Amino acid sequence: MTAVRGALHAVRSAPGPSMAAAVIVGLFLYALVVPLFAADPFRLSGMSIMDSFTPPVWMEGGNPRFPLGADDQGRNLLTAMAYGLRTSIIVGVSSVLIGLVLGGALGLLSGFVGGRTDAVIMRIADVQLAYPALLLAMVIDGIATAVYGRERSAGLAITIVIFAIGIALWVQFARTIRSSVMVERDHDYVAAALVTGRSKIAIVLQHILPNVMAPVLVIATINLGIAIITEATLSFLGIGIPLTHPSLGALIRNGNAYLQSGEWWISAWPCLVLVLLVIAVNVLGDHLRDHFNPKLRGRS
Amino acid sequence: MILHAVERVLQTILVLLVISFVAFMLIATLGDPLGVLLPPDATMAERNALIARLSLDQPLMQRFLSFLGGIVQGDFGLSYRTQEEVGGMILERLPATAELAIASLVITILIAIPAGILCGVRPKALVSRVIMFVSIAGITLPNFVVGILLIAVFSVQLGWLPSFGRGQTVSIGGLETGLLTWSGWRAIILPAITLAAFQMTFVIRMLRTQLMEVGQSEHIRFARARGLSEARIWFVYAIRNALLPTVTMLGLQLGNIIAFSVVTESVFAWPGLGSLFLQSVQAADIPVIAIYLIFVGAVYMLINLAVELSYPLIDPRLKRRGA
């Protein structure tokens, strides 16, 4: 876990990334703490049509109960966004973990075994590279609709979205881990472990894996940004997570319909939160990349 | 040189065959074409005719071959959602998407290439720093947020441009185009900028990095020592070396650009291929999804093949090495 400790140190020593880390921690707290105290604004019993289109508190007609205003259904945007952000974070983190495990396993296999196994896995990766994560996730969701039908529970829909994004992300993990493993494979410590009679699986998992963690951490952070944007885009397009379930993308989609009539706050706040989160994650990812690979410093 | 080209063409064909097979397996294993496509009161004869039309009575490999044969002849199968020919649906939507793609490419070339050159030649100038700062937005902002932002400013606040649709279209030889009417021109501006935002940022940053690197190299210093004008050094000698990696990287981003076109078309209610794909995903219309997959794969592979095969034209060193 030296990679994690090195990353933490790298973040603390620079002002931009530590600000980004602070923003991420703040948003995580907002998403995890607010739902503990506020009722789910997406539950029908908590809504009141009387409160719909309440503007933010500093504008005329504002109500202190709705600091950031309310949407067309009278949902409090401050709490609705916390619930939406929680979905974004859960989906983003879980799908990156799935991409990491899937890509990690295939990358280790490809790099350590080599030969025909490597060729097959890498050709599949090449073909998949023609399709970006967003497009693949959409296709996988369409296939899931064909298998499970239109009417499916919110829980199943979220699981499908997590897997759709996770599967779409595996290639980069696999390629990175494969190239790192190929470098590590020829080191003396691997030969030494082989001589002492350790099994190949043990060598890969216990000796090689810890040494390739640094680039994986960088890819994971950068992909977290991609996963969050992908989830928000899917929800915005009305695919995947049902509109009755809170998500930032769905809030923006909903608010977009009222942009023309001047109710800007319904879509502006969720946009702002989403952009803040994505920028913070990207700044952190860029910084970690530069920290672990000084050669890349200054490149776009 | 020619051998290499032939090898790359064969590789591309092989990959396209694999993609087609995956797409075919989606159609073959998912959904119930007879249940969806036949009216409830269909006769046995109609049923048999459809089975023969979709060649459902044949073994799997035979069906794959007739699927491939159909694609080559322009028969892409039937949509489960509209019961129309998929080929016709795509052809009807293609002009709108092509117009959007071309418009965004023109915007990219007109704005991003001069801006990228400026940032690469004068990296410390105030203008360059401003351009680089703004370009961070193009990379980090999700595509739909860019679209919403543009609508909020230019259609809602200022009321200058329409926020949805294609405007009035004119039919030329059976193809609808919006580029011949005033309202069509006004309608395409915002979606084209939204789609171009990502490409522009990408080109600016790539060109800048490349030019800054090329600027350090021997032949540029030598050109300067010979007393050539700065303009000639940058625009004749340096740009050649910088353009190749930029075009290559942009080609590899093509998949992303196609995905963003789906989002952009949805934000601006643009009646193109992207919105067709979106409707098909929502309705689980597997035949259209599968054909779209093949289409995107083919466009990606062919354009990247063309980029790679045109290397010797841009960079003469490769021609000499290959010959």
Condensed to tens digits (0 to 9), the pLDDT of residues B42-92 reads 777 777 777 777 777 777 788 888 878 878 887 777 777 777 888 888 888
Beta bridge partners of A56: none
ipTM: 0.79
Residue B128 included in any domain: yes
Q: How far is C-alpha A221 from the chain's CA centre?
A: 8
- With an 8 Å Cβ cutoff, are A259 and B26 in contact? no
Q: Do B67 and B17 contact (CB within 8 A), yes or no?
A: no
DSSP summary character for residue A55: P
Cα–Cα distance for residue pair A185/A188, rounded to 1 Å: 8
Residue B301 included in any domain: no
3-state helix/strand/coil string of B205-264: HHHHHHHHHHHCCHHHHHHHHCCCCHHHHHHHHHHHHHHHHHHHHHHHCHHHHHHHHHHH
Residue B179 included in any domain: yes
Same domain, B59 and B193: no
Same domain, B121 and B176: yes
B-chain CB neighbours of A129 within 8 Å are: 252, 255
Cα–Cα distance for residue pair A199/A177, rounded to 1 Å: 20
A-chain CB neighbours of B256 within 8 Å are: 132, 134
Mean of all residue pLDDT scores within chain A: 79
Same domain, B68 and B99: no
Q: Which of A5-14, A29-38, B43-52, B293-302 has the largest mean confidence?
A: B293-302
Side-chain half-sphere exposure of A207, counting CA atoms within 13 A:
19
Same domain, B39 and B134: no
Same domain, B235 and B207: yes
Same domain, B105 and B141: yes
Question: Could you tell me the residue range of the domain that residue B34 belongs to?
Answer: 2-72
Q: Is B42 on the interface with A (CB under 8 A)?
A: no
3-state helix/strand/coil string of B48-92: HHHHHHCCCCCCHHHHHHHHHHHHHCCCCCECCCCCCEHHHHHHH
Out of B72, B103, B118, pick the residue that ends a domain: B72
Query: How many domains, chain B?
Result: 2
Condensed to tens digits (0 to 9), the pLDDT of residues A269-286 reads 888 888 888 888 888 887
3-state helix/strand/coil string of A177-234: HHHHHHHHHCCHHHHHHHHCCCCHHHHHHHHHHHHHHHHHHHHHHHHHHHHHHHHHHH
Residue B294 included in any domain: no
Residue type, A234: L
Q: Do B174 and B94 contact (CB within 8 A), yes or no?
A: no
Residue B32 included in any domain: yes
Same domain, B22 and B129: no
Out of B10, B39, B72, pick the residue that ends a domain: B72
Residue of B nearest to A259 (CA): B152
Condensed to tens digits (0 to 9), the pLDDT of residues A165-189 reads 898 888 888 988 888 888 887 888 8
Same domain, B114 and B50: no
Q: Is A70 helix (H, G, I), strand (E, B) or coil?
A: strand
Same domain, B103 and B211: yes
Out of B250, B269, B284, pick the residue that ends a domain: B284
Same domain, B127 and B58: no
Residue of A nearest to B213 (CA): A299
Side-chain half-sphere exposure of A40, counting CA atoms within 13 A:
11
Same domain, B45 and B162: no
> Looking at residue B239, which CATH number applies to its domain?
1.10.3720.10
Q: Is B82 on the interface with A (CB under 8 A)?
A: no
Same domain, B67 and B191: no
Residue B199 included in any domain: yes
Hey, of B281, B307, B308, which one would you mutate to test binding to chain A, going by the most A CBs within 10 A of its CB? Answer: B281
Residue B207 included in any domain: yes
Condensed to tens digits (0 to 9), the pLDDT of residues B107-158 reads 888 888 888 888 888 878 788 888 887 787 777 788 888 888 888 888 777 7
pTM score: 0.80
Q: Which residues have C-beta within 8 Å of that of residue B71, sequence separation ≥ 6?
A: B20, B294
Average pLDDT, stretch B5-32? 83
Number of CB atoms found within 10 A of residue B293's CB: 21
Residue B314 included in any domain: no
Tokens describing residue A286: 């860029």
